[in-house]
């Protein structure tokens, strides 16, 4: 009986510890460097950080820039991946998430509610996600508008004059830069593309055009999307006790050699729409 009592007591303590962790405030998330090719700079708080494949590091406040023929694939600790193509500049203003217990397969389900707010200033990114948790917010803004992502495979390309959004799978909401206050935006579904342009207009028609995605463009992007998807499956994350607060750690689960030389020219997204 004493042994059983100790077992129950231990199990109860474990459950209470897990519940306490889940009830805590959000903590800074991390990214895992799944693939790195060519010249890429990663700067946080004005300090240049050397990136290497297999590194895990905080991303909130980071500015990431890739040079010609370069790319990097990062996996967020919520299980989302981001393929940052050549000649691209991305800033991650915020990435936080709730602590979560070990053992969650982050490649299938988001382990806890998270908030991501990023800026793509130029170039192209590809976002692939797991099943996002209820309450999660994932927003990327560009000079021409805003993309609210719910999953699962999304391409965003930014030039001086326009932003193109291709939803390969899943759905997103897009809003133009000059959308009226309170606007709910326009929902894009799988197989659709939106083009947001520089325009003083305050109506959707003046800033945003929607059309079916060009199958040729989607086909050309397939290797990049597949690489981003594979990256999500080689790493898991878990929350561990830190010195003063919970911390998120990465753990590689499957050795992987992702494809190299995957650069696809931004001209492939020129559909003439």
Per-residue pLDDT of the chain (273 residues; tens, 9 = 90+): 454 454 345 444 444 444 444 456 889 999 999 999 999 999 998 899 999 999 999 999 999 999 999 999 999 999 999 999 999 999 999 999 999 887 788 888 999 999 999 999 999 999 999 999 999 999 999 999 999 999 899 999 999 899 999 999 999 999 998 877 888 889 999 999 999 998 665 555 557 889 999 999 999 999 999 999 999 999 999 888 877 778 899 988 865 555 555 666 665 565 555
Given this model, what pLDDT does residue 200 score? Answer: 66
Distance CA 239, CA 145 (A): 34
| CATH number, domain 26-251 | 2.60.120.1440
Question: How do beta strands 137-142 and 145-158 pair?
Answer: antiparallel
Measured CA angle at 86 (ends 85, 88), to 5 deg: 80
63: helix, coil or strand? strand
Which helix (H) or strand (E) segment holds residue 230: the answer is helix 215-232
Contact status, residue 115 vs residue 136, Cβ threshold 8 Å? yes
């Amino acid at each position: 009986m004493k042994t059983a009592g100790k077992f129950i007591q231990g199990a109860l303590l474990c459950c209470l510890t897990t519940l306490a962790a889940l009830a805590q405030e959000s903590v800074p998330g991390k990214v895992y460097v799944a693939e790195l090719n060519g010249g890429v700079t990663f700067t946080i708080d004005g300090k240049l950080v050397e990136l290497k494949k297999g590194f895990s590091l905080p991303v909130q406040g980071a500015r990431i820039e890739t040079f010609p023929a370069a790319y990097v694939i990062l996996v967020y600790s919520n299980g989302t991946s981001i393929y940052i193509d050549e000649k691209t500049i991305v800033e991650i203003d915020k990435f936080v998430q709730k602590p979560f217990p070990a053992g969650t397969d982050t490649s299938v389900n988001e382990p806890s509610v998270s908030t991501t707010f990023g800026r793509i200033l130029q170039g192209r990114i590809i976002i692939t996600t797991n099943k996002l948790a209820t309450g999660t917010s994932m927003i990327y803004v560009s000079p021409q508008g805003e993309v609210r992502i719910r999953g699962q495979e999304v391409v965003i390309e930014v030039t001086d004059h326009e932003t193109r959004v291709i939803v390969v799978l899943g759905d997103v909401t897009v809003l133009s830069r000059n959308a009226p206050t309170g606007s709910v935006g326009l929902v894009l579904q799988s197989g659709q593309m939106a083009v947001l342009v520089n325009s003083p207009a305050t109506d959707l028609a003046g800033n945003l055009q929607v059309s079916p995605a060009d199958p040729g463009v989607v086909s050309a992007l397939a290797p990049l999307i597949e690489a981003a998807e594979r990256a999500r499956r080689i790493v898991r994350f878990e929350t561990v006790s830190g010195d003063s607060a919970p911390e998120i750690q990465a753990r590689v689960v499957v050795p992987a050699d992702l494809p190299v030389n995957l650069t696809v020219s931004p001209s492939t997204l020129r559909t003439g729409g």
